[in-house]
């Protein structure tokens, strides 16, 4: 298994542009999580899905952030419009019912 | 919701010494407690976990202990080596498909 696959690995964009981060979970994992990591706030849960259904999006900072999971093998996190304070590493993780997370390699987002 | 506190935030030890990281949690329904290690620039990776029906678990040089009455759990690393240098995160969950709540992390530095 290739593990959790995230793309792109790095993204540099200008303020105001739309950014889309992508994640392919491990096959058979029913839960998918999006985290944001910064020095100041550590690992923050943004949103998570069970069986493709959003369960808790209370961590999404504002309406500029949205996430979808159209099927069991793909999820996106979109920021529109992006701002410099969105600069962070965004991790996607998936887990089976055991709750054991596997993280992707992350996307390092820089908004200038 | 669950709240996980982790101490210390930084820890420096001499190579060969032991390191202990402590966490407390708030939700008495939590029954799954994983620990993740994150090396610089890498993804968090599970190193050991414990479930509430067990008080202690060991895996070579690392061990976790759980005190459900006091709602705290700890990570013990013996005979530390330079490659143990990383950020360690504790976490808690009520299990199944529920989200895992992370602590704020402990930066461990092992001095050769």
Give the torsion sign (CA, B102, A93, A22, A5): positive
Please give the pLDDT value at position A97.
Answer: 76
Please give the pLDDT value at position A80.
Answer: 97
Asked if the C-beta of B9 comes within 8 angstroms of chain A's C-beta atoms, the answer is no
In sequence order, the β-bridge partners of residue B25 are B4
| Tens digits of residue pLDDT in B57-108 | 999 999 999 999 999 999 999 999 999 999 999 999 987 667 889 999 999 9
Asked if the C-beta of B34 comes within 8 angstroms of chain A's C-beta atoms, the answer is yes
Across B20-32, average pLDDT = 95
Is A53 within 8 Å of A70 (Cβ atoms)? Answer: no
Structure tokens at B51: 């479930």
Residue B52: which residues within 8 A CB-CB, separation 6 or more?
Answer: B30, B31, B32, B33, B66, B68
Q: Which of A33, A97, A100 sits opposite B99 (nearest CB)?
A: A33
Percent of chain A having pLDDT more than 90? 86
Instruction: Give chain A's mean pLDDT.
Output: 94
Q: Identify the residue among B31, B37, B44 best suited for mutation to test binding to A, counting A beta carbons within 10 A and taking the highest.
A: B44
Please give the pLDDT value at position B81.
Answer: 97
- B32: which chain A residues are within 8 Å (Cβ-Cβ)? 99
Helix, coil or strand: residue B63: strand
Is B44 within 8 Å of B38 (Cβ atoms)? Answer: yes
CB distance A104–B43 less than 8 Å? yes
User: Would you place residue A57 in the very low, low, confident or very high pLDDT band (cuts 50, 70, 90)?
Assistant: very high
Write the CA distances from B25 to A24, B44, B87, integer angstroms: 31, 20, 19
Please give the pLDDT value at position B61.
Answer: 97
Residue whose token pair is 């290690």: B37
Distance CA B58, CA B8 (A): 21
**CA neighbor of B79 nearest in space, from B110, B48, B108, B33:** B110
Q: Identify the residue among A101, A102, A108 best suited for mutation to test binding to B, counting B beta carbons within 10 A and taking the highest.
A: A101
- B46: which chain A residues are within 8 Å (Cβ-Cβ)? 100-102
Please give the pLDDT value at position A1.
Answer: 64
Distance CA B59, CA B77 (A): 10
Structure tokens at B34: 């994983």
Percent of chain A having pLDDT more than 70? 99
Residue whose token pair is 């990570």: B75
Distance CA A90, CA B41 (A): 12
User: Would you place residue B11 in the very low, low, confident or very high pLDDT band (cuts 50, 70, 90)?
Assistant: very high
Asked if the C-beta of B41 comes within 8 angstroms of chain A's C-beta atoms, the answer is no
Please give the pLDDT value at position B56.
Answer: 93
């Amino acid at each position: 298994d290739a593990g959790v696959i995230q793309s792109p690995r790095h993204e540099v964009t200008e303020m105001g542009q739309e950014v889309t981060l992508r994640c392919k979970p491990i096959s058979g994992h029913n839960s998918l999580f999006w985290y944001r990591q910064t020095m100041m706030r550590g690992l923050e849960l943004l949103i998570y899905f069970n069986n493709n259904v959003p369960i808790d999006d209370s961590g999404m900072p504002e309406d500029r952030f949205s996430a979808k999971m159209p099927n069991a093998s793909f999820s996106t996190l979109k920021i529109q419009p992006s701002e410099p304070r969105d600069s962070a590493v965004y991790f996607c993780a998936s887990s089976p019912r055991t709750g054991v997370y596997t993280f992707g390699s992350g996307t390092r987002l820089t908004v200038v | 919701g669950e709240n996980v506190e982790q101490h210390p935030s930084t820890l420096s030890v001499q190579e060969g010494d032991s390191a202990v990281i402590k966490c407390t949690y708030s939700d008495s329904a939590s029954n799954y407690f994983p620990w993740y290690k994150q090396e610089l620039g890498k993804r968090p990776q599970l190193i050991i976990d414990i479930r509430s029906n067990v008080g202690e678990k060991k895996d070579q040089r690392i061990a976790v202990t759980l005190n459900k009455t006091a709602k705290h759990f700890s990570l013990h690393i013996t005979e530390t080596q330079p490659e143990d240098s990383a950020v360690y995160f504790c976490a808690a969950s009520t299990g199944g498909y529920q989200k895992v709540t992370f602590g704020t992390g402990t930066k461990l530095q092992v001095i050769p």
